[in-house]
Structure 1
Amino acid sequence: MNTIRKIRKYFLATLLFIVLLVGCGYSQDSSQALPSSNNQESVQAVASTSGTVIPFDSNKWEFNAKTSTIQEFLGKKSLLLEEGTATIKNANFTDGIIEYDIVLPNGPGFLGTMFRMEDHKNFEELYIRSTRSGLPDAVQYNPIHNDVLSWQLFSSRQEPFTATAKFNVGEWTHVKIAVLGKNAEIYVQEMEKPALFVDLKREVKPGDIGLIAIQDSAPGYFANFSYTTTKPTLKGSPKETPAVTPGTVKSWLVSNTFSEKLLDGKYLLSNQEQKQLTWKKLPSYPSGVTNLAIVAEPTPEKDTVFAKVTIVSDKEQFKTLDFGFCNRVKVYLNGQKIYGGNDDFFSRDYRFMGTLGYFDQVYLPLKKGKNEVWLAVSSGFPTNGWGLQAKIDDLTGISFEK
């Protein structure tokens, strides 16, 4: 009996010791698991880096669209967006990653992302064309200046800012955009390799971010929107800046805006008319492409500017000027009209896009000394690009005045 009591006491003592030992260990583990205030900051930082989903019913969003309704769609709480924008207010986004899911419509849809938004007239934009899956222009980079689209300027061989991407309309497709400095890359469904790597054309500045369904676009559904402001590692790499082709016009003097109608029937520009204009210098990109919207904002009433360059010739001679324009042009040499052209969107047939390129020529009868070449470039509405480029391959006996 005494032996049994001793065994019970020993067993209880041992059990108590084990309980105390485990309790101490648990207490130590728990104290390590519960974060201090510093650890809480660390946890929040990790959450931000991983891209916290921002629900569309959050007060962070601002909607400006024909349709912007929150609803369940294909198993996800989503935003139906039609002809307009959804913007994250005060995002202060310069570099980082933007991600979301999208259902592209079975119709002509132009849906995508805005970032580094200065306002609703000035921002970077990347979008997807819903009817172009697997084709070279499925994805488009489209920098916006002064509320002017620019895809006509950036669809050419000189500025190849379109790319192939494969997706299924009517199904959820994942999209990721990584932005760092002057570069960005967009991933569509395939997350290992970017569909498009671009050299961004706007100035690097922080701004808002958001989603867009471009005007006249079929609506789309968005879900699981998130972003980070941590500098990402880009998988692509910028191409070496190509050397400027000799003879390319590297900069233009651009006038204030005026109505294209003022030039109707006008074959000579008077000195008085020329003196009434004010001018800004606008550099071209290395390709020669020049985006007029950087320095001017067209309106239906004032849709035209002059872009001028001075050629110095050592004698009387003819030179061939190769050029391109968006969307309409009148060319004047030393105040006299020598050419007119129209490359409006669909102006020739339903397939004509009006993209910029060296598709036109004019023969310049130069006098000895200074010669002023003026191009009156009209934007057209809706404006899908407003710009020009020009070059003279044979520079014998001439130079461009700087």
Structure 2
Amino acid sequence: MKKLFFIALVLLQQSCLYAQKKTGNSPGNFLRPEQWEVEPGKVEFTGSGDQSVMKITNAGTVARLKNIEFANGIIEYDVQLQEPGFASIYFRMQDMLETECFYLRGGRAGNPVAMDAIQYAPFLKGVNLWDLLPQYQAAAELYPDRPNHIKLVISGKKMLAYVNSSQWPALQIPLLEGNTIKGAIAFDGKVIISHLTIKPNETEGLSPEAGMDITNNDPRYLRSWKVSAPFEFPVGQELYSKLLPDSTVQWQPIHAERAGLVNLTRLLGGGNYLKRQAVWLKVVLQVKKEQTKKMDFGFSDEVWVYLNGKTIYTDKNLYPEAMRKVPDGRISVENAQFELPLKTGDNELLIGVANNFYGWGIIARLGSMDGVVIK
């Protein structure tokens, strides 16, 4: 008799735990007003149960879910766009300085071939890296006048983003590039959120290991540099040869990340709209005989390239349409190409980089490494 009573008690406890888990994950249970940290008067909650909705009435208002520390799993929700702006979800969020971020560009709704309808872009030191990671944007069929169903599967270093489809992800992220591994979940944008479910640690078999970077197969990328300390550089000034670094400048090593990106934002943060800053990057190319090499060059935002003290190239990749480089103001080796006339022996390549708008960095790829040694 005691044994039967014990079995019944265990089954009852398991049933209760299952019911609690099911209730906690069901749509609507995460959309009660007491569960959210919001600015007064800028977020509205209506409905109940599965019909609960959260309406963010002001673009730029962040609604943060309380008492949830999310690392891996599935986040699923419906989002209805209220204007052609951005509709963002933050996850593994520490604050607005350090967080992962996935967002819809509402202005692309109704255009299923727009290449930047959706984007993944982490925040590092408060800077959104959208302009440094064009490979993490994609086309998607967004609805302008009805809810869009979003499903994010997050596992370790990887993420799959499904948009209005359960069959195939609209965006596949081989490496989540943020600095955080766990944190809060939050939304922003002028949107209506409904049917929010969170399933911690359910990853549908998605490997947590980072995917391959195929540019690692290409030896032409210049990956090891030295970087100076940043210095203030007011808008309107140029890095002319008289400002080349002298022997007093202190250097530290910096190495390229995926796709050959020398990511200055991760190391230094970013400038702001009123306070432009700059650094110098340096590498030495050694050749046994005089030769000319082509360089494919990506950059953000402004660059001055010197070889052995002589100007080789200078340009700007700024977001105003007239100043954008292909592709659409993002960093890419498509941005520019020029020649490096290398002399016999050591050749010092110096690149000044300035920034006051989102991410900054360079990508440098020689046409050939034949006869070139990096020092």
TM-score relative to the length of structure 2:
0.82
- Corresponding position of 2:221: 248
Q: Which residue, out of 87, 97, 115, partners 2:64?
A: 87
Distance change >3 Å, CA 57–CA 294, structure 1 → 2: same
Distance change >3 Å, CA 261–CA 87, structure 1 → 2: same
Query: Any idea what SS the aligned residue of 2:17 has?
Result: helix
More deviation, 169-178/198-207: 198-207
Q: Which residue, out of 249, 255, 264, partners 1:292?
A: 264
Within 5 A, what are the aligned runs for 1:2-401?
A: 32=8, 36-37=12-13, 39-48=15-24, 53-58=29-34, 60-63=35-38, 68-72=42-46, 77-81=53-57, 82-105=59-82, 107-133=83-109, 134-135=112-113, 136-155=115-134, 160-199=135-174, 200-203=176-179, 205-213=181-189, 219-233=190-204, 240-242=212-214, 243-261=216-234, 264=238, 266-269=240-243, 272=246, 275-285=248-258, 287-300=259-272, 301-348=275-322, 353-358=328-333, 359-381=335-357, 383=358, 385-401=359-375
Cα offset, 1:261, TM superposition: 3.7
8 Å CA contact retained: 1:139, 1:164: yes
Distance change >3 Å, CA 55–CA 268, structure 1 → 2: same
8 Å CA contact retained: 1:137, 1:162: yes
Which amino acid in 1 is paired with 2:225?
Answer: W
Q: Distance in 1 between matches of 2:79 and 2:100?
A: 19
8 Å CA contact retained: 1:94, 1:229: yes
Cα offset, 1:177, TM superposition: 0.9
Question: Mind listing any 5+ residue stretches in structure 1 that lack a counterpart?
Answer: 1-27, 214-218
Between Structure 1 and Structure 2, whose CA radius of gyration is higher? 1
Q: Distance in 2 between matches of 1:33 and 1:186?
A: 42
More deviation, 229-238/125-134: 229-238
Which amino acid in 2 is paired with 1:83?
Answer: G
Cα offset, 1:295, TM superposition: 0.7
8 Å CA contact retained: 2:86, 2:105: yes
Cα offset, 1:240, TM superposition: 4.4
Q: Distance in 1 between matches of 2:242 and 2:338?
A: 17
8 Å CA contact retained: 1:268, 1:337: no
Distance change >3 Å, CA 253–CA 46, structure 1 → 2: farther
TM-score relative to the length of structure 1:
0.77
Cα offset, 1:367, TM superposition: 3.3
Distance change >3 Å, CA 276–CA 332, structure 1 → 2: same
Cα offset, 1:229, TM superposition: 1.6
Cα offset, 1:56, TM superposition: 4.5
Cα offset, 1:51, TM superposition: 6.9
8 Å CA contact retained: 2:228, 2:251: yes
8 Å CA contact retained: 2:125, 2:266: yes
Q: Distance in 1 between matches of 2:244 and 2:117?
A: 47
Which amino acid in 2 is paired with 1:293?
Answer: T
Q: Distance in 2 between matches of 1:119 and 1:142?
A: 15
Cα offset, 1:126, TM superposition: 0.9
Q: Give a deviation string over 1:69-119, Cα, whole Å, max 9, x none.
A: 21449x7532225113222245321101112221113x4311121111232
Query: Any idea what SS the aligned residue of 2:346 has?
Result: strand
- CA RMSD in angstroms comes to 3.2
Cα offset, 1:362, TM superposition: 2.8
Distance change >3 Å, CA 310–CA 183, structure 1 → 2: same
Q: Distance in 2 between matches of 1:338 and 1:145?
A: 31
8 Å CA contact retained: 1:268, 1:335: no
Cα offset, 1:192, TM superposition: 3.0
Which amino acid in 1 is paired with 2:116?
Answer: D
Percent identical pairs in the alignment equals: 26
Q: Distance in 1 between matches of 2:219 and 2:302?
A: 26
Question: Mind listing any 5+ residue stretches in structure 2 that lack a counterpart?
Answer: none
Q: Distance in 1 between matches of 2:251 and 2:66?
A: 36
8 Å CA contact retained: 2:317, 2:323: no
